[in-house]
Amino acid sequence: MLALARTVVHRDLLLALRRRSDVGTALLFFAIVASLFPLGVGAEPNLLRAIAPGVIWVAALLSSMLSLGRLFAADYADGTLEQMLLAAAPLGVVVAAKTFAHWLVSGLPLVAIAPLIALQYDLAPGLYGVLALSLLLGTPVLSLIGAIGAALTLGLRGGGVLLALLVLPLYVPVLILGAGAVEMAGAGLDPEGELLLLGAALVVAAAFSPWAIAAALRISME
């Protein structure tokens, strides 16, 4: 199973490298959305520090959603997904590997550039690590939850709107915990509680989401 997962991840990363514009679009969207708020609300330092965690997390959430529609679309269009469903390999392992590859392409770069974006908000240097850690724990949860919605709306006309309606309510707890961890650290309090809850959410999502995604794909293919 590990060899199968490595093969799927390697394949999806190679395909992503051939579509660099898709990866660049999500990163550019994140940078633009997060950078527009300082221009819109003004340069008052205290206000920027107060809104920074929420703005950066909302921008990361929307950027993660931007690429969800492409998670299974290409495999669905060329028939690869049907072969995956018919193969002897566990479908849950395949979709878990595909979701991990999606996060490596769309989520991990957000974690890397978020501290640079935070410079615009004059965050205290000690908060950059908390921000990066909260995104590192939270963005995989966004990918796993979003993959369930992407599987359910696969092949539907107007699926992008339906996908947003399905996953946005489920993203709210992750958003609250992620932004709350940075706000707690900024207030001089211990953010460990929020970070532990994010870690627990990641463990639960990693354990159960692949099988939910596999079931949703079977429903969509029928």
What tens digit of pLDDT does each residue of 112-171 get?
999 888 888 888 888 999 999 999 999 999 999 999 988 888 877 767 788 888 889 999
Q: What pLDDT, on the 0 to 100 scale, is given for residue 176?
A: 94
Q: What is the mean pLDDT of residues 4-20?
A: 84
Q: What is the pLDDT of residue 37?
A: 85
pLDDT per residue as tens digits for the range 35-94? 888 888 877 888 888 899 999 999 999 988 888 877 888 788 777 888 888 877 788 888
Dihedral angle over CA of 194, 36, 101, 128, nearest 10: -40
- What pTM did the predictor assign? 0.89
Please tell me the predicted confidence (pLDDT) of residue 217.
87
Give the pLDDT of residue 160.
75
Using pLDDT thresholds of 50, 70 and 90, give the confidence band for residue 100. very high
- Which range among 19-23, 96-100, 119-123 shows the weakest confidence by mean pLDDT? 19-23
- The Cα–Cα gap between 31 and 167 comes to 22
* Centroid of chain to Cα 132: 14
Q: How many residues does the chain have?
A: 222
Predicted pLDDT at 182? 92
Find tokens 């939270």 and name the residue: 138
What local confidence, expressed as pLDDT, does residue 136 receive?
A: 94
How many independent structural domains does the chain possess?
Answer: 1
Residue-range definition of the domain harbouring residue 24: 2-221
Read off the pLDDT band of 200 (50, 70, 90): very high
pLDDT score for 199 = 95
The number of CA neighbours under 13 Å toward the Cβ of 69 is: 15
